[in-house]
Structures are given as C-alpha cells and as structure tokens.
C-alpha cells in the first residue's frame, strides 16, 4: 500500500457543519431518520461506553468515515484512532477518511491530555470497528440467506466462504443500518496476530495537507464577515485597566471597536484574564491598534510577585520538614548514623508550553447560540465554559476542533475560546481572537516553578540506605482554588510518591507554596522536575559511591517487582487507571535501562570533552530510559551528537509515531533545560523567543535511536513519557564530560564558570 | 501596489507597511504561511523572495517590489518538490504548523546546488523553531532530498 498516494484521498473535514453533515450522510443508522442516542460517558468511569455508530460511518460508495474524537496536535491521533477502528472493521485503508468530531458527550471524554487517547480508548475503538464488521457480516448473510458463521469481512468486502460470493461494504451499508448492534459480549475481536494496521508504522493521514500548506489550523479559520481581535491583557494576574484611551487605537485604519472585557475575579480557573479588546477588519490592524492603546493598569495583589524572591522562599520551605506523603523505615535515624551522607537541592523554573501556534479561536455568536472553531485540546470543556460565559444553554454551543499547531497542555484551557465568544457577542460578527507570542509567554498558564531538597545516606559498601526527598511547588490546584497551597494527590503521583527505589529508609514530603500566576499543565507536568531531581541525585550518589551510574541506578531500583503503594498507605493516582492493570513494575523500568544502555553501548571509552548520561522514569504508565551523549567545548558550549531512547508503552498502535514522540519529547525535555520564565513586579519578563529560549536545530540531538519495546501489555501513554528523563540524562552527561553538576535549570552559562 | 505571488499578480491597496505575512494570509487567503512570533525569531512565516528565504512577518509588503514571492502553496506542483517528498517519506511533521516554514527555508538552502553538510544545515535551519522537536528528521530529510536532487 502506498500511504503517500492514498493520503490525498483523506480530507480534513471541517467547517460550517460540513463535517457534521457529511458524517450524518454516511451514518448507517441515519437511514432510520435519527442518530443513535448520545451516550454520556464521563472520563475515567468503567460504565460501558460502547456505541459503534459514534465512530464509524459507511457510505453506499464504500467510503468508510472514522470519527476522531480527540484533538490532533502532532501525536497523529487522527491516524492511530483510525488504524484501530479500521483494523477491527477490516476496512481497506485507502478507502478510509477521518472526520474530526465536534464537542459531544456521546464520545465520552474528549480531553486530549494526560497521554490518554489510546490507553483509554483502545478497547472501545476496537469494539466499535468489530461491531460494525459483525453487522456487515450479518447483512450479507441475510442477503444470501446463509448462516452468518459462513461470512467473513475481509478488506472492505464480506466474503461467503463456501460459495466465494462477495459484497462490498458500501453495498451492505443500507441493509446493515436496519440491524441492531450486537451486544458487546458477543463481539469477536481479532487476535493480535491478525492485525493489519495496529502495530504498523502507518503514515499520518494529514501528511500531504501539512507539507503543502493545506492543513487547517485554528489560526487558518476564515469565516465570511469575520473580524480579528487581539487583547491587551493585564500583565499581572487579577490586574485590570484603571484607565485607557481608545482613541489612538481607533485611529488605526481597520480598527472598528475597542472595549473592555469583564474583570477576572479569583479563582482564575479557565476564565479569560480580562483586559481591552481591539477588534479590526484584519490581523495587522488589530495588532497595530493594540500597540497604539494607552492603558494604565491597576495591578492588584500579585504585583509583588518576584521569581527570585519566590525561589528563595521555596528553598527555605524545602529545607524544613513538610507534610509526609510516604514513609518507610526511619530516615532520620539512618541519616544520623550514616557512614556518609549526601545533600543536594534542585531548581526548575517556570516554563511555557509555547506551542508554535499560539492560542487562537474563532467564534460566531448569534442570539442564544454560538459556534466555535478552536485550536483546543478540550472541546467539551470549551463548550461548557463558553455556555457559562454567554449565559446560554450548552446545547446551543457548537465547538469544532481544528488541527492544533501544538498544544502541550496550554490548549487544555479554554480561556481563549471564551474570549472569542465574548468578543463576537459584543461586536455581533464572527471574530477570531489570536494570541501573539508575547501574549502566550506573558499571560499563560505557567509550568510550576519548583525547589527540591534531597538527602541520602550511603553505607560502607556504597549502598544508599536512606532517602529523604522534599518537593515544593505551587500546585495547579491553586489556579482553581487559591487556598490550595499543598500539592494534590495527582501532582504528587507524577514521579514523586511512586519513587521506584528499593531503599529501606525513605521519607517523601511536600511543602506549601502559594500561586501568584496561573499554574497549568505542561507536557508531562510534575514529572519534569521530579525526574530531574531523582535521576540527577541517583547519579550523584553513584559518583559518591564511585560506581558506574547505570549499574548504580539499577541497584537503586532493586529487583524486578511491583511496588505496592497502597500497602505503604500512599495515596497514589496512577494516572487514573487501575493499579492492578498498570502496576508500578520495576522489572519493566529495569528493562528499558538495560535496552537503552545496550543500544548506546554504555561504558564505551569516549574522547575528551564527550560524556554519556542516563536517566529513566515511569510516567503515564509507560517506562522510558534515555541516554544522552554530549560534546562540550572548552568554552562551555555543548552539542548533542546522539540520543538513545527505550520506551515500554505496552501495546503500541503506530511504532513510527511512538518513535516520533520519543524524539520530539526528548527535544521538549531539552528545551525545559534551556528556557525559563521569570517574574518581576508580578509580570513575566520574557516577551518572545529572543528571551525565552527553546531548542533550535543546532542544539538539538543530531541523531536518535529509539527502541520500542515489544509488549502485549495494555497500552500506556506515549506523548508525555519521553520528556521527563531527558533533562537529567543531559545534565548527567554534562557532568560526565566536565565534572560540573547542574542542579539549577536553565543550564545557561553554568558550564562557563 | 501590485505583488507577484506564486506566479500570479495581485493588487493590494492596504497599509504599505503591512507585513507580507498578513497580506498573504488575510488578503490572499494563502494560509500555509504561518504566524509564530511576529519578530523573525521562529521562521514559521518563511517565504521566498526571488528564491531567497525571508521572514514575511517582518517584511513590509512595500519592500517586496517586483520580486517574485513564493509560498508553500507555490513551492511545487502537488507536493512534488524533492524536499516535500523526503518530508513525506521520513514522516517529518508532527503537528505540522512550522513545517511550511521549515520546507521553505530548506528549499532555499538546497537551491545552492551542493548537498549541505550538517554544519551548513545547523547554520541555515537554526532560525526555524519546531516545538514538536522534529529537527533530527528535518536534517535527515534535507540530506535525503539533496542526494536525490
């Protein structure tokens, strides 16, 4: 099959009801004059959510439409969801088109975050395809008046075994539409050995459009009569305009309206920040108009936020005993009697998700109704928040999802879509609200800044026998409830309480920290700083014990076993999935370390100035180990000639896309070691990519080797797990090359000291 | 004023200081050229002026003059440019938003004729950001296209 030629057949369905209409047209239940009733399946519940018609449509011409209910932001979910459904349906891939779902509860959760799209949908997508296949087989059996057991769907047609007769899917669509879907328990799923598409490196369905500039991202939406708005938002959280002069902005040709948006009241939540909207006939006029605005801000109570002073306060907290969240043995006693102790403190600054496409949404609000086209990771949350902000019923709000020019958690927040709805209502026309890069960096939902304090005891044989770890960071919950100053169960379940080390005396603590900016999710979230501290400190202990870092890491992890956190009274979230199905399995963690070490030829001699570093981390139920090779110049500049990644994400749908996520997730981890957002007088100091550094071509790894562990375990997350091990593996490599230890990010000029 | 884009002539009567990016996107509806920073820091808006890569977000439309503007939509017929084909073959894009700019930048690099070295790729491509981190595949695709050209 030539995926390259075939992809041109698959169009991205989007627009003013085009997607919905087309899908309705091919819906085979549609021939009864109604769509199947919506099933409301809240995320994370075990309630059966199966409705094959939600995902599959077959037209009389044989075109199979597979509905992707998750947002495409580079993980190729539109392709992988279609692969799963098409496989169980036994469709011909060249006759499959992918439709993008609007916000609708009938799909269950559409929140595209937490590396959940495949792991939470794999079974139901398979069942959706298998159900449709069974109905087509039944329709064929009825037509031929033969037992259904003699009929089998194969590559877009049903074959009658004994006679060899065939009927195409399209020919059967109408007859199948009159049948009841079989009960879930009667469905026969394929054996993995029979999979056609699952587990195969299938090219992205959107590839051709992307490389020819035809893909429709949120920024690219155009509606008749559409205006463009940019918003001057308060530089300080909960600030508001004290006074502003709209006249200079209105004097810019093309600027039509300038008005104030509602002031944001705590908590920030998902609500817009307020400020002054400038609405114009075109983008450049809107940007020029905002530039001309003269606003005096009333900055409010966060105006004293200073990231330098805040860092000092976090560190002070991290040096004191905090709330204990996991304890075994007697750490204090073990530290007091230790042969040798080691203490280290790690700092990771505020970071920005900074997707290449800044937040953007287009809204058309009419009396009691709204339609949006949004670059959103959370269409249903968007619909809810827009309905609330407009004071209309959710049923009157339609949310269309465009391609996302990156998301990384920023586009999980619907604030920008709500802005578009509010501005459209005010001006009585369709409006696109676009964020500039300055807006994105200065008014975002920041990755939490963190300080961590670690102490360990090493015995006479060089073994670590005590581990004290305190983590302090403003929790994401502070964005939604200002009184939340301790980390949540979810925050601490991201690579902190699930520490995989086999150490007799261990105590894990969390200290309090207040939020002064909006704190939000960023790809792999709290795992970033937890993996950085734990995997860096493990390396420091190896050095202190004069041991090979990889061998020492394996010793710290100890023998293959599952860690019973419940038995330790640890409140562990396990990414919302059952621990029995997805245990914390040190055997799998060890395996990715062994695999990556072998690939990287760990232990080989390196030329002067080169170093190797390793780190491993379980997150989103997947296990990833990374080896980074660095080359450091005498001036303290470094490059990354090569990176090796091993991932065990259980069953994978598309190994090439998993590799791509491992490469990209590593670069994202590199950027986390290069950039920082700082605040002064409550406002973010960085404005654009000149001051907010992210990895560029010359800094990025020149080559990658990714090993995807063959596994029949249930699917785990893929989009986020490659990020956490990267920064510690990099800094461990830098130590190996230079003897200089990076404990505070960004790396900046620390190697030039 | 008149500008030539992808072989066709267009009339533009707006503010002559308008960056070419917004003329392409808002007026001509050629949305393949992307906005990423507005300050020539990310390369998402890269187009060709007479074959040279420029950042359209900081290029006033009046500065275009008689130069021929080429955008991603006009880089080749039906995606037949060797780079486009290499991009497809190696599965370079993730979200894809920066890729038109990456392709236009790489196309200008390859037009020099000789296959670029890794250092030359670093030099030419380091102004084009990709937050999905597709750099290693971009590098490989440039090497591939430069050998098949």
C-alpha torsion angle, residues A258, A374, A217, A716 (rounded to 10): 140
pLDDT score at A177: 86
Indicate the range of A32-41, A182-191, A464-473 predicted with least confidence: A32-41
Region A10-33: mean pLDDT is: 26
pLDDT of residue A44: 29
Task: Answer whether residue A11 shows pLDDT above 50.
Answer: no
Chain segment A348-402, per-residue pLDDT in tens: 999 999 999 999 999 999 999 999 999 999 999 999 999 999 999 999 999 999 9
The DSSP result for A292-317, as a single string, is: H-EEEEE-GGGGG--HHHHHHHHHHH
For residue A4, the chain B residues in CB contact (below 8 A) are 88-89
Instruction: Report yes or no: A591 and A471 within 8 Å, Cβ to Cβ.
Output: no
% chain A with pLDDT above 90: 89
- On whether any CB of chain A is under 8 Å from the CB of B34, the answer is yes
Alpha helices (runs of H) in A44-164, residue ranges in sequence order: 52-55, 77-89, 122-144
Q: pLDDT per residue over A383-395, tens digit each?
A: 999 999 999 999 9
Question: What are residue A451's phi and psi, to 5 degrees?
Answer: -125, 140
* Cβ separation B135–A354 shorter than 8 A: no
B41–A689 CB contact, under 8 Å? yes
Q: Which residues of A424-446 are buried (b: 16+ CB within 10 A; e: fewer)?
A: bbbbebbbbbbbbbbbbbbbbbb
pLDDT grade, residue A2 (50/70/90)?
very low
| Residues β-bridged to residue A679 | A684
pLDDT in tens, A556-585: 999 999 999 999 999 999 999 999 999 999
Cα A669 from Cα A675, distance rounded (Å) = 10
For the segment A104-126, the average pLDDT, to the nearest whole number, is 95
A347 min Cα distance to partner chain B (Å): 23
Q: Which of B44, B91, B138 sits opposite A656 (nearest CB)?
A: B91
Contact B133 A203 (CB under 8 A): no
- Tens digits of residue pLDDT in B104-138: 999 999 998 899 999 999 999 999 999 999 999 99
What would the mean pLDDT of A626-652 be, rounded to a whole number?
Answer: 98
Q: How far apart are CA A307 and CA A517, in angstroms?
A: 10
Predicted structure pTM score: 0.94
Residue A562 gets which letter from DSSP? B
- Does residue A232 surpass a pLDDT of 90? yes
Tell whether the torsion through CA atoms of A218, A220, A224 and A225 is positive or negative: positive
Residue A648's pLDDT band (cuts 50, 70, 90): very high
Q: Extract the tokens encoding A696.
A: 């560029």
Query: pLDDT of A199-214, one tens digit each?
Result: 999 999 999 999 999 9
Instruction: Check pLDDT > 90 for residue A36.
Output: no
Residues of B in contact with A407 (CB under 8 A): 95
Alpha-carbon Rg for chain B, nearest whole angstrom, is 15
Chain A with chain B: Cβ pairs closer than 8 A:
197
Using 50, 70 and 90 to split pLDDT, how confident is the model at A54? confident
Two tokens, residue A669: 């981890």
> How large a percentage of chain A has pLDDT more than 70?
93
Q: Is the Cβ–Cβ distance between A200 and A403 less than 8 Å?
A: no
Read off the pLDDT of residues A683-703 as tens digits, 9 standing for 90 and up.
999 999 999 999 999 999 999
- To test the contact with chain A by mutation, choose from B21, B30, B127, B131 the residue with the greatest count of A C-beta atoms within 10 A, namely B131
List of chain A residues whose C-beta atoms are within 8 Å of the C-beta of residue B29: 222
- pLDDT above 80 (res A21): no
Q: Which of B60, B95, B120 to mutate to test the interface with A (most CBs of A within 10 A)?
A: B95
Average pLDDT over chain A, rounded to whole? 92
B118 touches chain A (CB under 8 A): yes
> Is A118 a residue whose pLDDT tops 90?
yes
Residues of A in contact with B24 (CB under 8 A): none
With a cut of 0.85, is the ipTM above it?
yes
Nearest CB to B133; choose among A284, A664, A698: A664
| CB spacing of A697 vs B84 below 8 angstroms | no
Question: Does the pLDDT of residue A661 top 70, yes or no?
Answer: yes
**For residue A178, what pLDDT band results from cuts at 50, 70 and 90?**
confident
CB contact under 8 A, A660 and B134: yes
Q: What pLDDT shows up at residue B149? A: 58
d(CA A254, nearest CA chain B) in Å: 9
pLDDT for position A25: 21
> What pLDDT is attached to residue A174?
87
Tokens of A104: 């609708």
**What percentage of residues in chain B have a pLDDT greater than 70?**
99
Are B129 and A696 an interchain contact pair (Cβ–Cβ within 8 Å)?
yes
Question: What pLDDT shows up at residue A53?
Answer: 57
Residues A254, A259, A265: CA angle, nearest 5 degrees: 145
**Chain B partners of A723 at a C-beta cutoff of 8 Å?**
none
Query: Quick check: A283 and B22 CB within 8 A?
Result: yes
Mean pLDDT value across chain B: 97
Render pLDDT for A146-162 as a digit per residue (tens, 0 to 9). 999 999 999 999 999 99
Q: B74 at the A interface (CB within 8 A)?
A: no
HSE of A614 in the Cβ direction (CA atoms, 13 Å)?
27
pLDDT at residue A6, rounded to an integer: 23
Hey, how many other C-beta atoms are within 10 angstroms of the C-beta on A615?
A: 31
Query: Which residue among A73, A216, A358 places its CB closest to the CB of B95?
Result: A73
Lowest-pLDDT range of A32-46, A337-351, A456-470, A620-634: A32-46
Region B6-27 average pLDDT: 97
Average pLDDT over residues A256-271: 97
Report CB contact under 8 Å: A700, B135: yes
Q: Least CA distance to B126: which residue of chain A?
A: A697
Question: Would you call B94 and A75 a contact, using CB atoms and an 8 Å cutoff?
Answer: yes
DSSP, res A198? T
Q: Which tokens sit at A66?
A: 């597979």
For the residues A61-87, what does the mean pLDDT come to?
95
Residue A47 has pLDDT above 50, yes or no: no
Which residue out of A356, A362, A402, A440 would a mutagenesis test of the B interface target, given it has the greatest number of B Cβ atoms within 10 Å? A356
């Amino acid at each position: 099959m030539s995926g390259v030629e075939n992809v041109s057949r698959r169009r991205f369905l989007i627009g003013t009801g085009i997607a919905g209409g087309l899908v309705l047209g091919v819906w085979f239940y549609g021939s009864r004059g109604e769509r199947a009733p919506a099933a409301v399946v809240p995320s994370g519940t075990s309630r059966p959510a199966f409705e094959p018609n939600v995902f599959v449509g077959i037209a009389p011409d044989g075109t199979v439409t597979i509905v992707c209910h998750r947002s495409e932001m580079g993980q190729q979910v539109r392709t992988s969801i279609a692969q799963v459904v098409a496989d169980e349906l036994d469709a011909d891939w060249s006759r499959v088109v992918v439709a993008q779902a609007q916000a609708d509860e009938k799909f269950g959760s559409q929140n595209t975050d937490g590396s959940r799209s495949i792991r939470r949908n794999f079974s139901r997508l398979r069942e959706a395809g298998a159900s449709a296949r069974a109905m087509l087989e039944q329709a064929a059996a009825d037509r031929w008046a033969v037992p259904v057991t003699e009929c089998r769907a194969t590559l877009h047609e049903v074959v009658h075994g004994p006679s060899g007769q065939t009927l195409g899917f399209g020919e059967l669509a109408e007859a199948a539409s009159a049948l009841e879907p079989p009960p879930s328990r009667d469905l026969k799923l394929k054996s993995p050995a029979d999979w056609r598409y699952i587990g195969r490196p299938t090219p992205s369905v959107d590839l051709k459009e992307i490389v020819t500039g035809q893909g429709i991202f949120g920024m690219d939406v155009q509606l008749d009569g559409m205006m463009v708005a940019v918003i001057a938002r308060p530089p300080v959280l909960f600030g508001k305009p004290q006074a502003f002069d709209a006249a200079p902005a209105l004097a810019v040709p093309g600027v039509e309206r300038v008005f104030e948006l509602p002031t944001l009241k705590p908590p920030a939540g998902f609500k817009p920040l307020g400020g002054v909207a400038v609405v114009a006939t075109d983008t450049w006029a809107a940007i020029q108009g905002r530039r001309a605005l003269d606003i005096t801000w009333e900055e409010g109570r966060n105006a004293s936020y200073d990231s330098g002073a805040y860092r000092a306060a976090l560190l002070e907290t991290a040096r004191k005993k905090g709330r204990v969240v996991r304890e075994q043995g007697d750490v204090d006693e073990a530290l007091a009697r230790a042969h040798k102790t080691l203490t280290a403190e790690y700092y990771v600054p505020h970071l920005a998700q900074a997707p290449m496409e800044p937040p953007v949404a287009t809204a058309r609000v009419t009396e009691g109704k709204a339609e949006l086209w949004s670059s959103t990771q959370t269409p249903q949350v968007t619909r809810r928040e827009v309905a609330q902000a407009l004071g209309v019923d959710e049923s009157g709000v339609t949310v269309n999802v465009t391609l996302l020019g990156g998301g990384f958690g920023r586009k999980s927040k619907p604030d920008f879509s709500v802005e578009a709805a509010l501005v459209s209502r005010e001006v009585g026309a369709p409006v696109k609200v676009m964020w500039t890069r300055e807006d994105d960096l200065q008014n975002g939902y920041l990755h939490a800044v963190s300080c961590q304090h670690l102490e360990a005891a090493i015995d006479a044989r060089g073994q670590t026998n005590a581990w004290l770890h305190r983590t302090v960071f403003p929790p994401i919950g502070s964005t939604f409830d200002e009184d939340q100053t301790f980390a949540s169960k979810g925050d601490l379940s991201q690579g902190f309480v699930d520490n995989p080390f086999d150490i007799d005396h261990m105590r894990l603590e969390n200290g309090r920290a207040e939020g002064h900016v909006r704190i939000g999710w960023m790809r792999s979230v709290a795992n970033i700083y937890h993996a950085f501290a734990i995997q860096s400190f493990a390396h420091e202990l190896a050095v202190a014990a004069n041991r090979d870092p990889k061998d020492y890491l394996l010793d710290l992890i100890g023998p293959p076993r599952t860690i019973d956190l419940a038995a330790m009274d640890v409140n562990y979230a396990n990414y919302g999935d059952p621990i029995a199905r997805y245990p914390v399995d040190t055997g799998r963690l060890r395996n990715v370390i062994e695999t990556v070490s072998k690939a990287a030829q760990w232990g080989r001699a390196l030329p002067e100035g080169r170093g190797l570093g390793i780190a491993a981390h379980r997150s989103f139920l997947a296990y990833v180990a990374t080896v980074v090779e660095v080359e450091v110049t005498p001036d303290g500049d470094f490059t990354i000639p090569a990176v090796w990644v091993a991932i065990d994400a259980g069953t994978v749908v598309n190994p090439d896309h998993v590799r791509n996520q491992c490469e990209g997730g590593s670069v994202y981890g590199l950027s986390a070691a290069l950039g920082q957002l700082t605040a002064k007088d409550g406002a973010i100091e960085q404005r654009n990519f000149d001051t907010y550094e992210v990895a560029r071509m010359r800094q990025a790894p020149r080559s990658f080797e990714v090993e995807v562990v063959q596994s029949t375990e249930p699917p785990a997350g893929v989009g986020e797990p490659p990020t956490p091990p990267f920064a510690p593996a990099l800094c461990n490599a830098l130590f190996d090359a230079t003897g200089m230890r990076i404990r505070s990010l960004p790396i900046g000029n620390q190697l030039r000291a | 004023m008149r500008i030539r884009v992808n072989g066709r002539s267009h009339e533009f009567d707006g503010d002559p200081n308008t960056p070419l990016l917004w003329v392409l996107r808002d007026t001509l509806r050629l949305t393949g050229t992307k906005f990423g920073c507005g300050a020539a820091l990310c390369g998402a808006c890269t187009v060709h002026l007479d074959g040279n890569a420029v950042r359209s977000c900081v290029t006033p439309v009046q500065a275009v003059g008689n130069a021929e503007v080429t955008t991603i939509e006009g880089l080749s017929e039906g995606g037949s440019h060797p780079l486009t084909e290499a991009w497809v073959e190696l599965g370079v894009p993730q979200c894809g938003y920066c890729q038109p700019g990456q392709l236009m930048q790489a196309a200008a690099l390859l037009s020099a004729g000789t296959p670029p070295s890794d250092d030359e790729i670093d030099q030419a491509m380091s102004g084009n950001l990709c937050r999905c981190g597709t750099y290693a595949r971009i590098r490989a695709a440039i090497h591939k296209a430069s050998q098949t050209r």
